[in-house]
C-alpha cells in the first residue's frame, strides 16, 4: 500500500503564495513516493491541529505543515500527544520562520522547501510541552516576551524580522521586571526578571546568536533568564548577542541547560508566549520531550553554526549595533 502524505497549509500565508504553488508541491511529494493530498486551514479554532490529529489517526505517513510558525505549532500539537506519530516536513511562509532557519530549509520559495523531502534526510526533534500544550521552538514569559503581542499582524507580514526589531526598541522603555519563581534541573531562581525563555533550537526571533550552543535532540531546553530591567543594560545585552553570542557569561542573565522547568508568579501576572502566541498564564510546567517527532531537514547544513541572513536582516543588525556602540555600558 502506497504511503500517504497530507499537506496542511494556510491559504493566506505568504501573500497566498502557498496556494499558488500547491500543485507543484503535491507533484514533489508524488516524486518522493507518497500519495499526496492537501487541506486548506480555515479561520475556525484549531483547524490545523484537528486535521493533523485526524490524518495521523487515519494512518498518514507524512504531514507537511505549510505556513508560518503558528501553523507548524498547530500541526505539532495535533500529533505530539499520540503514541504513533507520522513524520513531519515544513514549508515556511510566515514572518521569521524560526523553525525553517533551524532546519536549514529554504524560506523564500515553497517549491524549493518541498524539495528537501526528496533528499530523504530527517532529524528526530525535541518537542516542548507547557502544561497541556506543545511548542516547537520557544516558550517565554515576562514583559519583554509580551512585546510580540503588540506587533500588528499586517506589520509582521510586510516587514517580518525588521518589524520585531523596530517595535521591540519602541516598547523597551516600558519593560519592568517582575518577581518570578523558576525551578529547573539543578537549581532555582527566585527574584525579579524582565524575561525568561526556553529555546529548543538556535533560531529565536530570526537571531541564531541568542542560543549559540543549541542542540536539536539532546532532551534539554536552553534556559535564559534576563534579570535586569534597565533599558541601557538590556540594549547592551542585545549588542552582545549580535556580536557573536557573548552574552552567555554575563552576570545579568542566567544561562542553563535543563530538561524541565517550573515557573510560578510571586505577585504579578506572568503571561506565557509559546512559539510567538499567547499560551496561558503561569504557573506552568515545561518538559522537553527528547527526539519526539521525526522532521525532514537539510541535515547536510545543520552542523553549521549559523544560517545565512537576508540582506535586510544584516542591514537592520548593523544599524542597531552602530547605535549601541555609542552607549556606555553601566556594567563594565
What's the pTM? 0.82
What CA–CA distance (Å, rounded) separates 328 from 314?
23
More confident residue, 74 or 313: 74
Average pLDDT for residues 189-213, to the nearest whole number? 80
* Secondary structure of residue 220 in the 3-state scheme: coil
Residues 6+ positions from 85 with CB-CB distance below 8 Å = 56, 79, 292, 293, 294
Highest mean pLDDT among 42-51, 192-201, 222-231: 42-51
In this prediction, residue 323 has a pLDDT band, given cuts at 50, 70 and 90, of: low
In this prediction, residue 72 has a pLDDT band, given cuts at 50, 70 and 90, of: very high
In this prediction, residue 86 has a pLDDT band, given cuts at 50, 70 and 90, of: very high
Look at residue 162 and tell me whether its pLDDT is greater than 70: no
What is the per-residue pLDDT for 155?
40
Span 105-151, pLDDT tens digits: 998 899 999 999 999 999 999 999 999 999 999 898 887 666 555 54
Kindly write down the DSSP assignment for every residue of 141-195, as one continuous string.
ESTTGGGGGGS-HHHHHHHTHHHHHHHHHHHGGG---EEEEEEETTEEEEEEESE
What average pLDDT does the chain have? 82
Judge whether 234 and 226 are in contact, CB under 8 Å: yes
Strands 271-274 and 138-141: antiparallel
Judge whether 116 and 89 are in contact, CB under 8 Å: yes
Judge whether 197 and 204 are in contact, CB under 8 Å: yes
What CA–CA distance (Å, rounded) separates 8 from 25?
12
What percentage of the chain's residues is helix, strand, coil (to nearest 5)? Answer: 35, 30, 35
Same fold, 3-120 and 135-289+310-324: no
Judge whether 190 and 263 are in contact, CB under 8 Å: no
Q: Is CATH 2.60.40.3500 the right assignment for the domain spanning 135-289+310-324? A: no
Average pLDDT for residues 191-200, to the nearest whole number? 91
Span 264-273, pLDDT tens digits: 999 989 999 8
Give the residue numbers annotated as catalytic, written as ranges: 277
In this prediction, residue 66 has a pLDDT band, given cuts at 50, 70 and 90, of: very high
What is the per-residue pLDDT for 278?
86
Look at residue 166 and tell me whether its pLDDT is greater than 60: no
What is the per-residue pLDDT for 291?
96
More confident residue, 321 or 210: 210
Cell numbers placing 60: 498518514
Where in the chain are the domains? 3-120, 135-289+310-324
Span 173-194, pLDDT tens digits: 667 889 999 999 999 999 999 8
Q: Is CATH 3.40.109.10 the right assignment for the domain spanning 3-120? A: no
Judge whether 129 and 292 are in contact, CB under 8 Å: no
Share of the chain above pLDDT 90, in %: 51
What is the per-residue pLDDT for 310?
44
What is the per-residue pLDDT for 171?
58
Look at residue 18 and tell me whether its pLDDT is greater than 60: yes
What is the per-residue pLDDT for 263?
98
- Pick from 100, 50, 72: nearest CA to 277: 72
Amino acid at each position: 500500500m502506497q504511503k500517504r502524505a497530507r499537506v496542511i497549509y494556510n491559504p493566506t500565508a505568504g501573500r497566498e503564495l502557498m496556494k499558488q504553488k500547491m500543485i507543484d508541491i503535491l507533484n514533489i511529494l508524488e516524486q518522493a513516493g507518497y500519495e499526496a493530498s492537501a487541506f486548506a486551514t480555515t479561520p475556525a479554532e484549531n483547524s490545523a491541529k484537528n486535521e493533523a490529529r485526524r490524518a495521523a489517526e487515519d494512518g498518514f505517513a507524512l504531514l507537511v505543515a505549510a505556513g508560518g510558525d503558528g501553523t507548524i505549532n498547530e500541526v505539532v500539537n495535533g500529533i505530539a500527544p499520540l503514541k504513533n506519530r507520522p513524520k513531519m516536513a515544513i514549508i515556511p511562509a510566515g514572518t521569521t520562520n524560526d523553525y525553517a532557519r533551524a532546519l536549514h530549509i529554504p524560506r523564500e520559495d515553497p517549491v524549493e522547501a518541498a524539495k528537501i523531502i526528496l533528499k530523504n534526510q530527517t532529524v528526530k526533534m525535541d518537542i516542548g510541552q507547557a502544561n497541556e500544550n506543545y511548542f516547537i521552538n520557544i516558550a517565554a514569559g515576562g514583559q519583554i516576551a509580551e512585546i510580540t503581542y503588540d506587533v500588528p499582524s499586517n506589520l509582521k507580514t510586510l516587514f517580518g524580522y525588521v518589524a520585531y526589531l523596530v517595535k521591540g526598541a519602541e516598547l523597551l522603555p516600558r519593560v519592568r521586571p517582575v518577581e518570578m519563581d523558576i525551578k529547573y534541573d539543578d537549581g532555582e531562581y527566585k527574584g525579579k526578571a524582565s524575561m525568561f525563555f526556553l529555546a529548543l533550537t538556535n533560531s529565536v526571533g530570526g537571531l541564531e546568536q541568542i542560543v549559540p550552543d543549541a542542540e536539536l535532540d539532546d532532551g534539554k531546553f536552553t534556559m535564559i533568564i534576563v534579570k535586569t530591567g534597565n533599558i541601557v543594560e538590556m540594549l547592551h545585552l542585545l549588542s552582545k548577542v549580535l556580536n557573536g553570542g557573548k552574552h552567555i557569561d554575563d552576570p545579568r542573565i542566567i544561562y542553563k541547560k535543563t530538561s524541565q522547568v517550573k515557573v510560578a508568579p510571586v505577585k504579578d501576572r506572568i503571561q506565557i508566549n509559546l512559539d510567538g502566541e499567547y499560551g496561558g498564564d503561569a504557573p506552568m510546567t515545561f518538559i522537553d520531550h527528547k527526539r519526539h517527532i521525526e522532521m525532514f531537514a537539510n541535515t547536510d547544513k545543520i552542523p553549521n553554526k549559523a544560517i545565512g541572513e537576508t540582506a535586510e536582516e544584516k542591514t537592520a543588525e548593523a544599524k542597531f549595533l552602530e547605535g549601541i556602540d555609542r552607549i556606555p555600558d553601566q556594567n563594565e
